[in-house]
Amino acid sequence: MIPPRRELIGLTQSDLERFFAEIGERPFRAKQILKWIYRFRLRDFEPMSDMPIPLRVKLAESCAIGRLRIAGKISSRDGATKLLFRLDDGASVEAVHIPAEDRHTACLSTQVGCALGCSFCATGTMGFIRNLTAAEIVGQFLGIEEALDVKLTNVVLMGMGEPLLNLGAVIPALDLFSDDNALALGHRRVTLSTVGIPAKIDELLDSGMKPKLAISLSAPDDALRARLMPSAAKIAPIGEILRAASRYANLTARWFTVEYVLLRGVNDSLAHADKLSALLLELPCKVNLIRYNEVAGLGFKAPEDDTVDRFIGYLCAAGLTATIRQSKGDNISAACGQLASKTAIE
């Protein structure tokens, strides 16, 4: 029986150095092959001209540089495109390309489904199926670029799943996004969104990776958060989450973002804005308000525009830095909270 080829996508420079040492090669080969894989996007070893022919033959026989299979894609009226990736085991994940004037952002998934089951999120209705590998996370990035012929400038880990519950794969992916020999985005162009898991935030910090941190809060107190995000609320109270996020912000020298999904008649009153202001005012953070992107069957509605205007006006008057996210792709179920790998994509 022929052994399976070793997949090189998803291996960091240190992983590749160990691999080359195992096969009797010098560690500097790791940087060489990273550039061929990610800068030149080669999938064939033969053109890798700075490596000796015997090594290229050996790699061709034992290794692979794969790609995820795109099962479908659909574009929205505002320019966003959602791609459905079919994985080797038959599972599927969705990722989104979000264009803007000066950037091309990839919203990537880190899990198939999600265990947290937030009451307003489509992904939560799937339940948790499995973690993605580093190759599958990075593979979404490569797949978007190649399928849409774009040069991505930013990554947000805001798709399906909770990134901090898959740090074993997320950290290598972050390494490859930031490594100058690989995808070379740097830390400042990568954002990780989480419900807030204090111990995992500290673990991320200890890893040396420094993506921008976004905390999905969506409630100004623990009681309301327990109603909206019951599993997340059981992990840690809001105060503990914000302390961990503040440590991260102070040690990485960049503010964290508080993501607040506005739900009509649930968390969008001026009383909620007042509580949120008191909670955040002294912290190294900014607020990103998100008009709810409606999901059929979940029972929530987006607030009226004047409600949103009053809410952000209150926050800004209180001294917070606050913005409203201009979500894209809502008409193709590609906006924040709408990914679920259920929608037919042609």
From the list 45, 42, 44, the residue with the least C-alpha distance to 54 is 45
Q: Which segments of the chain does DSSP mark as H helices, in order? A: 13-22, 29-34, 53-62, 134-148, 167-178, 198-206, 222-228, 230-235, 238-252, 270-280, 305-318
Active-site residue among 107, 121, 285, 336?
A: 336
Instruction: Say if CB 291 and CB 326 are below 8 A apart.
Output: no
Q: Which single residue is written with the structure tokens 């029986």?
A: 1
* 3-class secondary structure, 247: helix
Close Cβ partners of 146 (under 8 Å, ≥ 6 residues apart)? 41, 67
Cα-only R_g, the chain: 21
Close Cβ partners of 43 (under 8 Å, ≥ 6 residues apart)? 65, 66, 67
* 3-class secondary structure, 206: helix
- Residue 238 phi/psi, 5-degree rounding, is -60, -45
* 3-class secondary structure, 344: coil
Q: 10 Å Cβ neighbour count for 142? A: 21
The DSSP annotation for 321-337 comes to: -EEE-----GGGT-STT
Say whether 316 is catalytic: no
Instruction: Say if CB 113 and CB 231 are below 8 A apart.
Output: no
Close Cβ partners of 239 (under 8 Å, ≥ 6 residues apart)? none
What are the tokens at 165? 């519950």
Say whether 61 is catalytic: no
Active-site residue among 17, 25, 94, 162?
A: 94
Please list the active-site residues.
Answer: 94, 336
